[in-house]
Homo-oligomer: A and B are copies of this chain.
Amino acid sequence: MQKVTMADVAKLANVSKSTVSQYLNKRYEYMSEETRRRIAGAIEQLQYRPNVIARSLKQKSTATIGVIVFNILHMLTTQVLRAIEDMCQQHDFHVIVCNTDDDPEKEKKYIDMLWAKQVDGFIIFPTGKNVDLYKRMIEARLPVVFVDRTVEGIDVDAVLLDNERAVQLGMHYLIEQGYKHIGLVAPPFAPHVIPRTERINAFRYALREANLPIKEEWIITEQVKHISGRLDALLQRNKLPEAIFAINDLTLMEVLTFVKRRQLTIPHDIALISIDDVPFASIYTPSLTTIAQPAFEMGEKATERLFMQMGGEISPQMFRLAPKLIERDSAKKRGDKGE
């Protein structure tokens, strides 16, 4: 495979390894023009490529960060990842990506492996279940940033959506449009899944605040594959709410599946608003009103914090990034025809 080492270059250029190393690290200060040229020539001639692993060993830095996500297939994840990669590219850093499928065992294994691999930092969408491990990372002063979720009792940088605000934005809009009977669809409640918990709580709060009824049968927190069935049941009993708030793209898809199967009309039969600005929102009929997560900014913020941590001790902070309501036609006022 690769055989040319610094020693070979040194020999050919008739200098010591040290000098070659100085050259590579651009410490030209006390180096003659002549020597510099000879080394450059030797490198060119031998097609020498420094072995970064060897350097890493000595310098204790790998210019690599580990990013641990649930599932790269989720749009939010992909976008955050893209932002991270862009920023790393500017710093000549590399990104190792790991999928946990929200499985704490896999998460643990990945953290251990990346740690052993001496990555310079971690950006993690945490499962939330490896509390001891997270603590050990912090104690070891590893640079760590959490994204999307935080974990109670872990003092670490975290970049999250302002979920309360997101729900508020959507609910205020729906209420403003005149909807009073509003339901929610979400995956099953799980206390450690922060965004879910916060969104569901904020939903209840918004209804209470507006003095609207909280009907438990309209709060569907169910495995995604069962959601459209639950909606079917409501429809059969003629008990559909006027509007539905879908807390993410997956649940939105289920609602749309239901709507299509039952040949309902949005927003006439049922109005719809959701968190996550799906790529087809504007070409769907009717176009979908959504609450967009600032995915790129989340990635940028997380990376920025990580680099700050790598640059020196800073005290952990939690960042709540602002969602944005994108008004389209799926939740226009009752009686309106839409655009």
Residues of chain A at the chain B interface (Cβ within 8 Å): 1-2, 47, 49-54, 56-57, 60, 62, 64, 71-73, 78-79, 81-82, 85-86, 89, 92, 94-99, 106, 112-118, 136, 140-142, 253, 256-257, 260, 278-280, 282-285, 287
Query: Which chain B residues lie closer than 8 Å to A282 at the CB level?
Result: 257
Q: By the criterion CB–CB under 8 Å, are B89 and A81 in contact?
A: no
A331 to B71, alpha carbons, bound, how many Å? 33
Q: By the criterion CB–CB under 8 Å, are A94 and B86 in contact?
A: no
Query: Which chain B residues lie closer than 8 Å to A54 at the CB level?
Result: 57
Query: Which chain B residues lie closer than 8 Å to A287 at the CB level?
Result: 260
Q: By the criterion CB–CB under 8 Å, are B92 and A113 in contact?
A: yes
Contacts A60-B1, A94-B114, A96-B64 given; does A79 touch B73 at CB 8 Å: yes
Q: By the criterion CB–CB under 8 Å, are A257 and B283 in contact?
A: yes
Q: By the criterion CB–CB under 8 Å, are B94 and A99 in contact?
A: no
Q: By the criterion CB–CB under 8 Å, are B115 and A99 in contact?
A: no
Query: Which chain B residues lie closer than 8 Å to A86 at the CB level?
Result: 99
A99 to B90, alpha carbons, bound, how many Å? 12
Query: Which chain B residues lie closer than 8 Å to A96 at the CB level?
Result: 64, 94-97
CB-nearest residue of chain B relative to A143? B1
CB-nearest residue of chain B relative to A66? B94
Query: Which chain B residues lie closer than 8 Å to A117 at the CB level?
Result: 52-53, 64, 94
- Closest Cβ of chain B to A140, distance in Å, is 7
Say how many copies of this protein the assembly contains: 2
- Closest Cβ of chain B to A8, distance in Å, is 15
Query: Which chain B residues lie closer than 8 Å to A283 at the CB level?
Result: 253, 256-257, 260
CB-nearest residue of chain B relative to A253? B283
CB-nearest residue of chain B relative to A81? B72
Q: By the criterion CB–CB under 8 Å, are A49 and B116 in contact?
A: yes
A69 to B54, alpha carbons, bound, how many Å? 27
CB-nearest residue of chain B relative to A92? B113
CB-nearest residue of chain B relative to A99? B85
Apart from A52-B118, A73-B79, 12 more pairs, CB < 8 Å: A51-B116, A57-B57, A71-B82, A72-B72, A86-B99, A89-B98, A89-B106, A94-B117, A96-B96, A257-B282, A257-B283, A260-B283
Residue among B47, B78, B256 making CB contact with A78, cutoff 8 Å: B78
Contacts A2-B140, A53-B56, A54-B57 given; does A85 touch B98 at CB 8 Å: yes
A278 to B112, alpha carbons, bound, how many Å? 36
Q: By the criterion CB–CB under 8 Å, are A112 and B49 in contact?
A: yes
- Closest Cβ of chain B to A106, distance in Å, is 8
CB-nearest residue of chain B relative to A85? B99
Query: Which chain B residues lie closer than 8 Å to A81 at the CB level?
Result: 72, 97
CB-nearest residue of chain B relative to A100? B89
A57 to B53, alpha carbons, bound, how many Å? 6
A89 to B110, alpha carbons, bound, how many Å? 9
